[in-house]
Amino acid sequence: MWGVVMNWYQLSETEVTKSAATNKEKGLSQKEVEKRLKSYGANKLDQGKPPSALFVFLGQFKDFMVLILLAATFISGILGEYIDALTIMIIILLNGILGFVQERKAEKSLEALKELSAPQMNVLRDGEWKKVLSSQIVPGDIIKVSSGDRIGADLRLIETSGLRIEESSLTGESVPVHKHEHPLTSGQIEIGDQLNMAFMGTLVTQGSGVGIVIATGMHTEMGKIAHLLQSTTTLVTPLQRKLEQLGKILITVALVLTALVVLTGVVQGHDLYTMVLAGVSLAVAAIPEGLPAIVTVALALGVQRMIKRKAIVRKLPAVETLGCASVICSDKTGTLTQNKMTVTHIWTGGKQWKVSGGGYEPKGVFSLDGKSFDPSKNRNLQQLLSYGWLCNNANIQEKTSKQGMLRKSVTEYVMDGDPTEGALVVSAMKAGYTKQSLDQYFTRVKEFPFDSARKMMSVVVKDRQGRSYIITKGAPDVILSQCMNITYGGHEQALSSDRKAEVEAVVDHLASQALRTIAIAYRPLGARETCTQAFEAERNLTFIGLQGMIDPPRPEVKDAISECRQAGIKTVMITGDHKRTAAAIATQLGILPKGGKVLDGQTLSRWSVAELEEVVDDVYVYARVSPEHKLKIVKALQAKGHIVAMTGDGVNDAPAIKAANIGIAMGITGTDVAKEASSLILSDDNFSTIKAAIKEGRNIYENIRKFIRYMLASNVGEILVMLFAMMLGMPLPLVAIQILWINLVTDGLPAMALGMDQAEGDVMKREPRSPDEGVFARGLTWKIISRGFMIGAVTLAVFWLTLQAHPDELIRAQTVAFVTLVMAQLIHVFDCRSEYSVYHRNPFENRYLVVAVLISTLLMLAVIYYPPLQTIFHTVALDGREWLLVLGMASIPTVVLGGFQLFKRK
Ligand code: ATP
The mean-pLDDT minimum among 148-152, 254-258, 300-304, 670-674 falls in 300-304
pLDDT-derived band of residue 228, with 50, 70 and 90 as boundaries?
Answer: low
Q: Are 185 and 218 in contact (CB under 8 A)?
A: no
User: Which of 311-315, 402-406, 538-542, 761-765 holds the top average pLDDT?
Assistant: 538-542
- Of the chain, the percentage scoring pLDDT greater than 90 comes to 55
Q: What is the pLDDT of residues 166-217, one digit of tens each?
A: 888 788 777 899 999 999 887 788 888 899 999 998 889 888 899 999 999 8
Pocket test for ligand 1, best of 577, 578, 591 (most atoms within 8 A of CB): 577
Q: What is the pLDDT of residues 762-808, one digit of tens each?
A: 899 999 998 888 888 888 999 999 999 999 999 999 999 999 999 99
Q: Is 577 in the pocket of ligand 1 (CB under 6 A)?
A: yes
Q: Is 575 in the pocket of ligand 1 (CB under 6 A)?
A: yes
Nearest residue (CA) to ligand 1, atom 5: 576
Q: Which of ligand 1's atoms lies nearest the C-alpha of 337?
A: 4
Pocket test for ligand 1, best of 336, 393, 420 (most atoms within 8 A of CB): 420
Nearest residue (CA) to ligand 1, atom 19: 475
86 vs 562, higher pLDDT: 562
| Cα–Cα dist 509/502, whole Å | 11
Residue 232 pLDDT > 60 = no
Q: Which CATH class is domain 238-307+696-905?
A: mainly alpha
DSSP for 155-211, please give it. Answer: EEEEEEEEEEEE-HHHHS--SPEE---S----SS--GGG-TTEE-TT-EEEEEEEEE
| Cα–Cα dist 678/664, whole Å | 5
pLDDT-derived band of residue 5, with 50, 70 and 90 as boundaries?
Answer: low
Q: Is 624 in the pocket of ligand 1 (CB under 6 A)?
A: no
At residue 63, the pLDDT reads 67
At residue 433, the pLDDT reads 95
| Cα–Cα dist 392/341, whole Å | 14
Q: Are 897 and 787 in contact (CB under 8 A)?
A: yes
CATH number of this structure's domain 346-492+515-544, picked from the four choices 3.40.50.1000, 1.10.132.20, 3.40.1110.10, 1.10.630.10: 3.40.1110.10
At residue 462, the pLDDT reads 93
Q: Which of ligand 1's atoms lies nearest the C-alpha of 473?
A: 29
The CA 622 to ligand 1 mean position distance, Å, reads 14
| Cα–Cα dist 905/128, whole Å | 64
Q: Is 452 in the pocket of ligand 1 (CB under 6 A)?
A: yes
Q: What is the pLDDT of residues 854-894, one digit of tens each?
A: 999 999 999 999 999 999 899 999 999 999 999 999 999 98
The mean-pLDDT minimum among 468-477, 726-735, 897-906 falls in 897-906
Q: What is the pLDDT of residues 631-647, one digit of tens each?
A: 999 999 999 999 999 99
At residue 234, the pLDDT reads 47
Spans of all domains in the chain: 1-229, 238-307+696-905, 311-337+554-685, 346-492+515-544
Mean pLDDT of 266-290: 80
The CA 452 to ligand 1 mean position distance, Å, reads 6
Nearest residue (CA) to ligand 1, atom 31: 474
Determine which one of 63, 141, 149, 331 is catalytic: 331
At residue 687, the pLDDT reads 96
Is 84 among the catalytic positions? no
Handedness of CA 149, 155, 158, 160 (dihedral sign): positive
At residue 641, the pLDDT reads 93
Q: Which of ligand 1's atoms lies nearest the C-alpha of 455?
A: 16
User: Which of 92-106, 242-256, 435-449, 834-848 holds the top average pLDDT?
Assistant: 435-449
Residue 3 pLDDT > 70 = no
Residue 231 pLDDT > 60 = no
Q: Is 420 in the pocket of ligand 1 (CB under 6 A)?
A: yes
Q: Are 332 and 582 in contact (CB under 8 A)?
A: yes
Tell me, yes or no, if the two domains 1-229 and 346-492+515-544 fold the same way.
no
At residue 185, the pLDDT reads 81
> 311-337+554-685 maps to which CATH number?
3.40.50.1000
Residue 1 pLDDT > 60 = no
Strand ranges in 262-325 using DSSP code E only, listed in sequence order:
311-313
Pocket test for ligand 1, best of 575, 629, 649 (most atoms within 8 A of CB): 575
DSSP tag of 742: I
pLDDT-derived band of residue 751, with 50, 70 and 90 as boundaries?
Answer: confident
Residue 703 pLDDT > 50 = yes
> 1-229 maps to which CATH number?
2.70.150.10
Nearest residue (CA) to ligand 1, atom 17: 577
Question: Among the residues of 125-228, which ranges form H helices?
Answer: 168-171, 221-224
Q: What are phi and psi of 570, to 5 degrees?
A: -90, 140
Q: Is 750 in the pocket of ligand 1 (CB under 6 A)?
A: no
Mean pLDDT of 308-317: 86
